[in-house]
């Protein structure tokens, strides 16, 4: 008998910590992330501090002193935040209704189609539908509800509508999956205790859904914030819908100032990140345990 216990081979010890041959399968993903995300990010960050002219921070100084540039932050937020809130407010009641439907899959498929169509096709469709001679205006004119066509294209509303259409399915699917995660027995328990539908929503479902809705908000917001095609096709890219991605595009491909474009991209990232961090911090204050009613 020796004094020390027999040592366990290194391979076995690593396996006990979850490291074995299978771990190698993450290598392609790591390489992918490095090549397509981490490297470009740091390259862009570096580039943004090497302006064509001026000191290290010249690009950032230029951005924040030119209202034509810094104004794009407000313009983009003014689109992205309402769009996110509107899609979320639409998704919640629809998800509630769909949850109890029998042909859930069919409806879900129909709702998801706008995702697969992509922004450009939706924009093209809206150009026809919402135009001065489009069905929408013609229908309203025929019914006598308006006397001159409503202007819904090449302004704020065109972009807003298109973002809601393309963003909704994503928000809806996430909301539906969070809602399906709440044990239906909880609502039944609420009902037997005397809570009506609104009280059950307010006291039971909403508190359990909020953490998920916060995540949904962040993801939808990031998508809406990086709006580009619909802002160009359906908006007024020179004016009211000159969003931040247009500013980056113009810096890169009209002024050929990659350094400035990188700076704009960095600022875009910081704005997105600060909103996301704020929402997630607020989420940290909520209950985040399981949404089930007991063990089971």
Partner 1 sequence: MTIQAANFKELRLDRLSRDFGTHNALKDVSLTIRQGEFIALLGPSGCGKSTTLNIIAGLLPATGGGIWLDEKRIDPLRPEERGFGMVFQNYALFPHMSVTKNIGFGLKMRGVAKAEIERRVAEAVALVRLQGQTEKLPGQLSGGQQQRVAIARAIVVEPPLVLMDEPLSNLDAKLRLEMRAEIRRIHNTLGATTIYVTHDQEEALSLADRIVVMRDGQVRQVGIPEDLFSRPDHLDVAEFMGFRNKIAGKAASVAGEHATVVIDGAAIVGRARNTITQGAAAHVAIRPEDLHPVAAGSVGLKAQVISTEFRGREFVGFARMADGTDLSFLARDKLAPGAEITLAAEPDRVLVYGDAA
List residues near partner 1 by CB under 8 A. Answer: 183, 185-186, 188-196, 199, 203-204, 207-208, 287, 289-296
CB 155 within 8 A of CB 240: yes
Residue number with CB closer to partner 1 (146 or 193):
193
Shortest gap between Cβ of 279 and partner 1 (angstroms)? 19
Q: Which of 285, 155, 148, 177 is nearest to 233 (CA)?
A: 155
Secondary structure class of 133 (helix, strand, coil): coil
In eight-state DSSP terms, residue 6 is P
Shortest gap between Cβ of 207 and partner 1 (angstroms)? 5
CB atoms < 10 A from the CB of 56, how many? 11
Secondary structure class of 82 (helix, strand, coil): helix
φ, ψ for residue 179, nearest 5 deg: -65, -40
Shortest gap between Cβ of 210 and partner 1 (angstroms)? 9
Residue number with CB closer to partner 1 (239 or 292):
292
Shortest gap between Cβ of 102 and partner 1 (angstroms)? 11
Shortest gap between Cβ of 200 and partner 1 (angstroms)? 8
Residue number with CB closer to partner 1 (136 or 187):
187
Rounding to the nearest 10 degrees, give the CA dihedral for residues 265, 270, 272, 277: 160
Residue number with CB closer to partner 1 (164 or 210):
210
d(CA 295, CA 276) in angstroms, rounded, equals: 33
Residue number with CB closer to partner 1 (276 or 291):
291
d(CA 286, CA 211) in angstroms, rounded, equals: 7
């Amino acid at each position: 008998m020796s004094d020390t216990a027999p040592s366990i081979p290194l391979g076995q010890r690593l396996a006990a910590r979850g490291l074995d041959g299978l771990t190698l399968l993450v290598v392609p993903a790591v390489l992918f992330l490095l090549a397509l995300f981490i490297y470009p990010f740091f390259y862009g960050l570096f580039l943004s501090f090497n302006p064509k002219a001026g000191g290290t921070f010249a690009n950032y100084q230029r951005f924040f002193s030119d209202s034509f540039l810094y104004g794009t932050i407000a313009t983009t937020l003014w689109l992205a935040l309402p769009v996110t809130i509107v899609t979320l407010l639409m998704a919640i009641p629809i998800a509630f209704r769909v949850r109890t439907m029998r042909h859930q899959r069919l409806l879900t498929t129909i709702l998801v189609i706008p995702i697969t169509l992509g922004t450009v096709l939706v924009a093209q469709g809206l150009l026809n539908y919402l135009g001065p001679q489009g069905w929408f205006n013609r229908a309203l004119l025929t019914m006598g509800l308006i006397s001159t066509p409503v202007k819904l294209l090449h302004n704020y509303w065109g972009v807003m509508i298109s973002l809601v259409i393309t963003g909704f399915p994503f928000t809806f699917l996430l909301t539906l999956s969070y809602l399906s995660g709440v044990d239906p027995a909880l609502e039944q328990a609420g009902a037997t205790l005397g809570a009506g539908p609104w009280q059950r929503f307010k006291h039971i479902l909403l508190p359990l859904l909020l953490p998920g809705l916060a995540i949904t908000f962040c993801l939808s917001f990031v998508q809406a914030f990086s709006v580009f095609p619909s802002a160009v096709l359906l908006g007024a890219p020179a004016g009211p819908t000159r969003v931040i991605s247009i500013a980056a595009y113009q810096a890169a491909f009209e002024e050929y100032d990659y350094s400035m474009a990188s700076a704009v991209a960095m600022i875009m990232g910081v704005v997105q990140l600060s909103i996301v961090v704020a929402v997630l911090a607020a989420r940290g204050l909520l209950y985040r345990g399981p949404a089930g009613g007991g063990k089971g």
